[in-house]
Chain A
Amino acid sequence: MTSTPRTPTPESVTRPIELGFALVDERELAAFARHDRLTRDDYLDQLGEARDCVTLPEDAEPTHFFLGSEFCEHLLPSVESVDRAVVLCERWGLTFGLVTPIACDGLFDPLRAALARLPAGSEVTINDWGVARLVQREFPALRPVAGRLLGKMLKDPRLPSATWARMYPNGLRAGPFRDILDGLGIGRLELDFPPFGAADMYAGIDFPIGVRAPYGYIAKGRICKLGSLSLDTPEKFSPGHQCRRECLGFNEVGARPGTHELPTSQRGNTMYYRHAKGMATAVAEAVNNGWVSRIVLSGA
Chain B
Amino acid sequence: MKITAPISTPAEVEPLVRAGARELYCGVVPPDWIQRFNTSGVNRRVFGNLNGYADLERVVDKATALDAEVFLVLNAQQYGEQHLDALTEIGARFRSIGGKAAIVADISLIASLAANVPDLDIHVSSVATCRNVESARFFAALGANRIILPRDVTVAEIGTITQALPELDVEAFVLNDGCVFEEGTCHTVHLPMNKGGPICIDNYQFEYRTTERATGGGKPQERALRRLEQNDLDYKRWLWYRFGNGFSVASNGYPWGPCGLCAMPATHAAGVHSVKIAGREGASERKIKSVELVARVLERIQAGEPEHRVREFAVGLRDAPSHCASGYMCYYPEVRSRQTTGDAEGKLLTAV
**A-to-B contact residues, CB < 8 Å:** 1-2, 45-49, 102-108, 128-134, 149, 152-156, 158-160, 164, 166-171, 173-177, 179-180, 194, 217-223, 225-226, 228-229, 233-240, 248-257, 264-267, 269, 271, 299
Contact = CB atoms under 8 A, between A and B. Distances in A.
13 contacts: A102-B182, A130-B134, A130-B137, A155-B188, A218-B188, A220-B181, A233-B327, A238-B330, A250-B220, A253-B206, A254-B205, A264-B204, A266-B204
Contact of B208 (A134, A218, A221, A250): A250
B196 A256 contact: yes
Max chain B Cβ within 10 angstroms of own Cβ: one of A160, A219, A299: A219
A235 B332 CA distance: 10
Interface in B123-159: 129-139, 142, 150, 152-154, 156-157
Give the 4 A-B residue pairs with the shortest CB-CB distance, closest first: A130-B134, A233-B327, A169-B80, A130-B135
B279 to A, nearest CB: 20
Given A171-B106, A218-B187, A233-B333, A158 B134 contact: no
A176 B112 contact: yes
A171 B333 contact: no
Interface stretch (B12-20, B95-103, B211-219): B211-219
B195 interface: yes
Given A105-B157, A221-B180, A149 B185 contact: yes
A160 B194 CA distance: 12
Given A228-B231, A228-B235, 6 more contacts: A176-B108, A176-B109, A221-B152, A221-B182, A225-B231, A250-B210
Nearest to A170: B78
A256 B211 contact: no
Given A108-B132, A237-B328, A248 B185 contact: no
A47 B213 CA distance: 7
Interface string B188-206: 1101000110011011111
Given A103-B132, A175-B81, A219 B188 contact: yes
A2 B85 CA distance: 9
